[in-house]
Structure 1
């Protein structure tokens, strides 16, 4: 029985280490789906809004003020940025790509591991957009 507990513990620790240290391929994650339209899906969402050309800059400040957030690729100056935002307990990465096209701001948020995020990405993005609307 002790062996089983040790094996399960080692598997859990190995999984936690992998989730936190697995490399993020910018070529894979730093992209926006063509013809992106507002939608919700298991593990993420897409939001499109009219913000004016400063939308990406304002949203960048909001996103970067959050915890466990870093830029994976791109920049505000490039007009497209992909962020990695990690969950508090396990460090699961979510990827959020933001692109500014003229006055239109596109946001594509999705998980990396699993099939469902229990609405976390949708809630996060909608919260950012609420803050952005008040600015």
Structure 2
């Protein structure tokens, strides 16, 4: 019985360490804040790309919507620079997802992706599509 209890404690400790790393791991802008390579609307296992015509003020309008999203903050970039990368964390475990939005003429190029794991179970697609629906209501 003592060995099983010790094994359980070790497993719990490893889980706590892994969750702490996920929550506290640094997000390097040099890695995540890069121009998206968008070739249309593509759903990926760990993210999504979108390209939408919205006019020259699209990034400023979408930025306001994204900043109002819970657990979302800017990692790097600004609207005047024409590109912004955001981090949105999941509510329970704090998994980070990165979304880079770039104004390209009258279009927005969006690349949302996970950091940990292989699949986001459609979370990025749902979030980005919700942002774009809200954007189309404002414009």
**TM-score normalised by length of structure 2:** 0.94
- Correspondence 1:65 to 2:68: yes
How far residue 32 of structure 1 moved from its aligned partner, in angstroms, is 2.6
How far residue 48 of structure 1 moved from its aligned partner, in angstroms, is 0.4
Q: Secondary structure at the match of 1:134?
A: helix
- Correspondence 1:108 to 2:89: no
- In the alignment, the residues of structure 2 paired with residue 89 and residue 68 of structure 1 have an alpha-carbon distance, to the nearest angstrom, of 11
Q: How do 1:17-36 residues align onto structure 2 when only pairs under 5 Å count? A: 17-34=20-37, 36=39
- In the alignment, the residues of structure 2 paired with residue 62 and residue 34 of structure 1 have an alpha-carbon distance, to the nearest angstrom, of 23
- Correspondence 1:119 to 2:122: yes
Segments of 4+ moved more than 6 angstroms:
none
Structure 1: state its 5+ residue gaps: none
Q: Secondary structure at the match of 2:64?
A: helix
Matched pairs, number: 135
How far residue 38 of structure 1 moved from its aligned partner, in angstroms, is 1.6
Query: What residue number does 1:90 align with?
Result: 93
Larger of the two Rg values belongs to structure: 2
RMSD (Å) for aligned C-alpha atoms: 0.9
How far residue 35 of structure 1 moved from its aligned partner, in angstroms, is 5.1
Q: Deviations over 1:26-69 (max 9, x none)?
A: 11111134353221110100000011111001101111101111
Moved more, 52-61 or 28-37: 28-37
Moved more, 64-73 or 29-38: 29-38
- Correspondence 1:11 to 2:8: no
- In the alignment, the residues of structure 2 paired with residue 108 and residue 99 of structure 1 have an alpha-carbon distance, to the nearest angstrom, of 9
Q: Secondary structure at the match of 1:127?
A: helix
Structure 2: state its 5+ residue gaps: none
